[in-house]
C-alpha cells in the first residue's frame, strides 16, 4: 500500500469512535462471560515499505479463540500512517508451554502525507504466529498479510502479551 493516500478528519473520528465502541463492548462483555482479558504490545516492520511500527491492543480470550482490537503507528517519512484493527486468532497447535495460531481480522489503514491528500482503506488481515506461554511476559512473533486494494504488504511483528 503506497504511503500517499488521504485521510479526512471525519474518517479519523469515525475510526476512533468505532475502535472505542469495540473496546467498550469487549470490556463490558468480558466480566459477563468470565473470559480472560489482557494486553499486548508489539513492534516490527511492514516488509514492502520497510516502515517500522509500534502497536498495542486488548486481548479477550474465549477458549481457543482470542479477539484483539489493536492499533499500530507506522514511522514514515513525510507524513503519518496508522492502522486500527479488530483481529481474531485461533490456537491451532496448543503445546502447553507454547502455541501456534492462525487468524484473520478487519482493519482500517490511514495515511496522511505532508503536502498531499489523506486517505484510508479498509483492509483484511490474515495472521499466522507462535507464542511462548511458559514465562510471565508471553512473547510472540507473527506474520500478518494485509490484503488491500493494490499493494498488499506483509507485516512481521514481535511482542509480548500480559
Q: State the pTM of this model.
A: 0.75
Q: For 134, left (φ over 0), alpha (ψ -120 to 50), or beta?
A: alpha
In whole angstroms, give the CA distance from residue 100 to residue 31: 27
Contacts of 38 (CB under 8 A, 6+ apart): 58, 59, 61, 161, 162
For the chain, which residues make up each domain, given as ranges? 9-161
Q: What local confidence, expressed as pLDDT, does residue 148 receive? A: 84
Once rounded to an integer, what is the mean pLDDT over residues 144-155?
88
**Which CATH code is given to the segment(s) 9-161?**
2.40.160.20
pLDDT digits (tens, 9 = 90+) for 87-100: 999 999 888 899 99
pLDDT surpasses 70 at 19? no
Q: What local confidence, expressed as pLDDT, does residue 83 receive? A: 95
Amino acid at each position: 500500500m503506497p504511503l500517499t493516500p488521504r485521510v479526512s478528519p471525519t474518517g479519523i473520528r469515525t475510526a476512533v469512535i468505532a475502535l472505542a465502541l469495540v473496546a467498550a463492548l469487549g470490556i463490558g462483555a468480558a466480566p459477563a462471560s468470565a473470559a480472560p482479558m489482557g494486553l499486548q504490545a508489539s513492534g516490527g516492520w511492514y516488509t514492502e515499505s520497510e516502515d517500522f511500527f509500534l502497536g498495542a491492543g486488548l486481548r479477550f480470550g474465549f477458549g481457543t479463540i482470542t479477539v484483539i482490537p489493536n492499533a499500530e503507528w507506522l514511522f514514515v517519512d513525510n507524513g503519518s500512517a496508522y492502522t486500527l484493527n479488530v483481529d481474531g486468532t485461533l490456537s491451532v497447535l496448543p503445546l502447553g508451554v507454547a502455541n501456534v495460531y492462525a487468524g484473520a481480522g478487519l482493519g482500517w489503514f490511514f495515511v496522511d502525507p505532508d503536502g498531499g491528500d489523506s486517505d484510508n482503506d479498509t483492509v483484511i488481515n490474515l495472521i499466522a504466529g507462535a507464542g511462548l506461554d511458559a514465562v510471565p511476559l508471553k512473547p510472540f512473533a507473527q506474520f500478518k498479510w494485509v490484503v488491500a486494494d493494490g499493494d498488499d504488504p506483509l507485516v512481521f511483528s514481535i511482542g509480548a502479551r500480559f
